[in-house]
């Protein structure tokens, strides 16, 4: 499902980049504010909820996780504009253009896990752990299949057709491909698009046994496994892919037009800005 490189789409992105008008940003200077949201300390149950008929074995067992201190997460997926500023400042490889038009406020796609991790390092942050991501996506609402309830809704997220795999529109979802970030209501932690729009890379590896042995406190995720992981579903996916517990196995070097990311950092990191 790798996106094709369309010259026209690339020109659209380039034009959007030119319109952003970035200020000068010298090497070594702090990166721009990426819109951090404070995620409170607390506990939750990680993994598939009992009412969910679509659970996969890798989403079980449901297990408790606790975060003793707050942390911070970007309110939105990393945008095309944010990512191209990183490319300009660091000389990092620019992503290929997807086979559809994007403006600077759409989520960046066609970035590998390594690209995503490099961006977050540049931002003084890191990819969220898988537990941080799911805790943030559930936002204090226990036992729900989706972030807002047990039923999918096009008024809540950008996703695809009922059957795999094609874009679709309806309700407030007006996008066949990516939507500008924050086009739908945020969750109770103030985070946008934790369900849908683009899948989001997280730290750690996929090991199907990890949930059974996960530490209670701030679990780092498996140190090894058979794939990297992306979370949350995307514009290309059918509704069940947006279930909060879904784990997408994906190659570390994989790049597709429906996988992006956001970053997380410790709550004290703002002092270094
Ligand atoms: Ca859609
Ligand atoms: Ca997302």
Which of 194, 203, 205, 220 shows the shortest CA–CA distance to 65?
220
| pLDDT score recorded for residue 28 | 55
| pLDDT score recorded for residue 268 | 77
| pLDDT score recorded for residue 12 | 41
Token digits of residue 272: 């270094």
Question: Which-ligand-closest: CA of 196?
Answer: 2
Fold topology of 34-273: 3.90.1580
| pLDDT score recorded for residue 32 | 77
Question: Which-ligand-closest: CA of 192?
Answer: 2
Section 84-100 average pLDDT: 97
CA of 167 to the centre of ligand 1 (A): 5
CA of 249 to the centre of ligand 1 (A): 22
Taking 60 as the threshold, does the pLDDT of residue 6 lie above it? Answer: no
Q: In what order do the strands lie in the sheet with 264-266?
A: 36-39, 71-74, 264-266
CA atoms within 13 A on the CB side of 199: 30
Which segment of 28-42, 93-107, 175-189 scores lowest on mean pLDDT? 28-42
| Cβ neighbours of 79 (radius 10 Å) | 25
CA of 156 to the centre of ligand 1 (A): 11
Q: Are 227 and 206 in contact (CB under 8 A)?
A: yes
CA of 34 to the centre of ligand 2 (A): 16
CA of 257 to the centre of ligand 2 (A): 13
CA of 126 to the centre of ligand 1 (A): 28
| pLDDT score recorded for residue 246 | 98
pLDDT digits 0-9 by tens, 229-263:
999 999 999 999 999 999 999 999 999 999 999 99
Return left, alpha or beta for 224; rule: phi > 0 is left, psi -120 to 50 is alpha, else beta. beta
Section 117-143 average pLDDT: 97
Residue 126 CA to residue 220 CA, distance in Å, equals: 12
User: Prior bond to 198 cis, omega within 30?
Assistant: no
Token digits of residue 71: 């942390």
Section 76-102 average pLDDT: 97
pLDDT digits 0-9 by tens, 11-65:
344 334 433 333 434 455 666 789 999 999 999 999 999 999 999 999 999 999 9
| pLDDT score recorded for residue 269 | 75
Section 209-225 average pLDDT: 97
Question: Which-ligand-closest: CA of 152?
Answer: 1
CA of 157 to the centre of ligand 1 (A): 8
For all residues of the chain together, what is the average pLDDT? 90
CA of 259 to the centre of ligand 2 (A): 8
Which of 205, 203, 193 shows the shortest CA–CA distance to 235?
193
Pairing mode of beta strands 42-46, 63-67: antiparallel
CA of 31 to the centre of ligand 2 (A): 22
Residue 35 CA to residue 59 CA, distance in Å, equals: 30
Section 108-121 average pLDDT: 98
Taking 50 as the threshold, does the pLDDT of residue 9 lie above it? Answer: no
| Cβ neighbours of 209 (radius 10 Å) | 10
Cα-to-chain-centroid distance, residue 103: 18
Question: Which-ligand-closest: CA of 239?
Answer: 1
**Model confidence, pTM:** 0.90
CA of 198 to the centre of ligand 1 (A): 11
Question: Which-ligand-closest: CA of 193?
Answer: 2
DSSP states of 141-202 as a string? -TT-SSSS-SS--TTT---B-SSSS-B--BTTB--SS---TT-S---TTS---SSSSSEEEE
Give the DSSP H/E element, type plus range, for residue 15.
helix 7-20
3-state helix, strand, coil in the chain (%, to 5): 20, 15, 60
Helix (H, G, I), strand (E, B) or coil at 83: helix
Taking 90 as the threshold, does the pLDDT of residue 272 lie above it? Answer: no
């Amino acid at each position: 499902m790798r996106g094709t490189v369309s010259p026209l789409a690339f020109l659209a992105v380039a034009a959007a980049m030119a319109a952003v008008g970035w200020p000068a940003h010298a090497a070594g200077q702090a990166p721009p504010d990426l819109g951090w949201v404070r995620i409170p300390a607390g506990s939750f149950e990680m993994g598939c909820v009992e009412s969910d008929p679509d659970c996969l074995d890798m989403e079980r067992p449901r297990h408790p996780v606790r975060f003793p201190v707050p942390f911070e997460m970007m309110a939105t997926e990393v945008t095309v504009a944010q990512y191209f500023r990183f490319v300009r400042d660091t000389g990092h490889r620019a992503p290929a253009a997807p086979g559809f038009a994007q403006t600077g406020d759409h989520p960046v796609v066609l970035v590998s896990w390594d690209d995503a991790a490099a961006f977050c390092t540049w931002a003084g942050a890191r990819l969220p752990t898988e537990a941080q991501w799911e805790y943030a996506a559930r936002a204090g609402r226990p036992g729900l299949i989706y972030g807002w309830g047990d039923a999918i809704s096009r008024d809540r997220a950008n996703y695809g057709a009922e059957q795999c795999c094609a874009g679709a529109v309806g309700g407030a979802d007006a996008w066949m491909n990516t939507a500008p970030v924050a086009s739908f209501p945020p969750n109770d932690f103030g985070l946008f698009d934790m369900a849908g729009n683009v899948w989001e890379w997280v730290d750690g590896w996929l090991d199907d046994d990890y949930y059974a042995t996960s530490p209670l406190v701030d679990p780092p995720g498996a140190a090894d496994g058979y794939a990297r992981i992306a979370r949350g579903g995307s514009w290309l996916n059918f509704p069940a892919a947006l279930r909060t517990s879904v784990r997408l196995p994906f190659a570390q070097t994989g790049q597709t037009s429906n996988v992006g990311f956001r970053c997380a950092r410790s709550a004290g990191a703002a002092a270094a800005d």
